[in-house]
Structure 1
Amino acid sequence: MSDYPSYPPPPPPDGPGGYGQPIRTEPPPSINTSMNIIWAVLALQVITTILSFTYLDELLQASNVAPADEDTARTIAMIVSVLTFLIFGGLWLLLGVFLRKGRNWARIVLTVLTAFGLLLGVVGVLGEQPVIFLISGLVQMALYVALLYFMWRPDSSAYLTGQRA
C-alpha cells in the first residue's frame, strides 16, 4: 500500500485559461476600429481604381505620353491598376485579419505600409492630377493617420502584446 489513498491532485493551471493557455479575449474597440479603417481604405481603393479608368485619358495627358504610345500606355495602366489593387488589397485585408487575431507583427507590417503610403500620398498630392484624385489622396492619407492612431493606442498594444490593459 502507498501513503496516498489515491493519486495526488494535478498541479494548478498556470494561466487564466488553464495549463498555460491564455483566455482568448475579444479585440478591444481600437482594434475593431482599425479593421474598419482598413475596410474603408480598401473601399476607397476600389473607387479610385474605377475612377482611374474613367479619367484615364486625363491621366495619360498629364504623364506626357507620346500620342503613338497612348493605346499601349492605356492597356498597361489598366492592367497595372487592377493588379496593384488585387495584390495590395489582398495584403491589407490579410494583415487586418491577423491584426484582429492579435498578431503584433501584423501591426508592425501595417505601420510600415501605412508610412510608405503616407509618403507616396504626399508625393501624389503635389503632382498634377484631376481634382477627384487629389481629394481621394487626401482622404486616404487621413485614413492612414487614423489607422496609425488606433493601432498604437494603449489598449491595442496591450491586446497585441498579451498584457492586461
Structure 2
Amino acid sequence: MYAGAALSVLGIVAGVTGTGSVRDRLEEQGTLTSSAIDTAVSVTVVFAIVGGLIGVALWILMAVFNGRGAQWARIVATVLGGISVLSAVSLLVQTVPPFTLVVGLLQVVLAVVILVLLWRPASSAYYRARSNRTLQA
C-alpha cells in the first residue's frame, strides 16, 4: 500500500505534466477564449494535486490500519480498490498522455494484487487474531 502512495505521487506529477495535452485539446476545439483555456488548465492542475494528495493519504491510512489488522480498513481498502479498478476503464477510453496511462495502469495492477492479498485465508486469520487480541485487551 505504501507503493500505492508512491504511485499516487507519480500520478500528481503525471496530472501536472499532462496539462499541455489538455490545453492542446481545448485549443483544437476552438470554442474557448485563451483566458477560459488558462482557467481550465489551472483547474486541471488543482484537481490533479488535490486528488493526488487525497490518494496518497488514503493509501497511507489503509496501510497503517490494515497493518494493525483493523477489519473495517480491509473493507474500506476493498471498496477503494474496486473503485480504482473501475476507474481504470476511463483511462482506456480517454486520450491521456502515455505517462499518465502507465501510472494509472500500474495503480490498477497494484490494487488488484492488494485485493487478492487482503482476502487470502492467511490474511483472514491475521485479521481474526488481531480482532480477538483487541477484544481481549
Instruction: Compute the TM-score of the two structures, normalised by the length of structure 2.
Output: 0.82
Which residue of structure 2 lines up, in the alignment, with residue 139 of structure 1?
Answer: 106
| Partner Cα separation in structure 1 for residue 37 and residue 86 of structure 2 | 29
| Partner Cα separation in structure 1 for residue 92 and residue 5 of structure 2 | 19
Q: Which runs of 4+ in 1 moved over 6 A?
A: none
Consecutive unaligned residues in structure 1, runs of 5 or more: 1-37
Which residue of structure 2 lines up, in the alignment, with residue 57 of structure 1?
Answer: 20
Consecutive unaligned residues in structure 2, runs of 5 or more: 133-137
Which residue of structure 1 lines up, in the alignment, with residue 75 of structure 2?
Answer: 108
Query: What residue identity is the alignment partner of 1:66?
Result: L
RMSD of the alignment, in Å?
Answer: 2.1
- 1:40 maps to 2:9: no
More helix by share: 2
Match 1:117 to one of 72, 84, 90: 84
Q: 1:103 to 1:136 in 2, by over 3 A?
A: same
Match 2:40 to one of 48, 73, 89: 73
Matched positions, count: 127
> Do the aligned residues in 2 keep the contact of 1:125 with 1:137 (CA within 8 Å)?
no
Which residue of structure 1 lines up, in the alignment, with residue 119 of structure 2?
Answer: 152
CA shift at 1:55, angstroms?
Answer: 2.1
| Partner Cα separation in structure 2 for residue 62 and residue 149 of structure 1 | 38
Query: What residue identity is the alignment partner of 2:15?
Result: S
Query: What residue identity is the alignment partner of 2:39?
Result: T
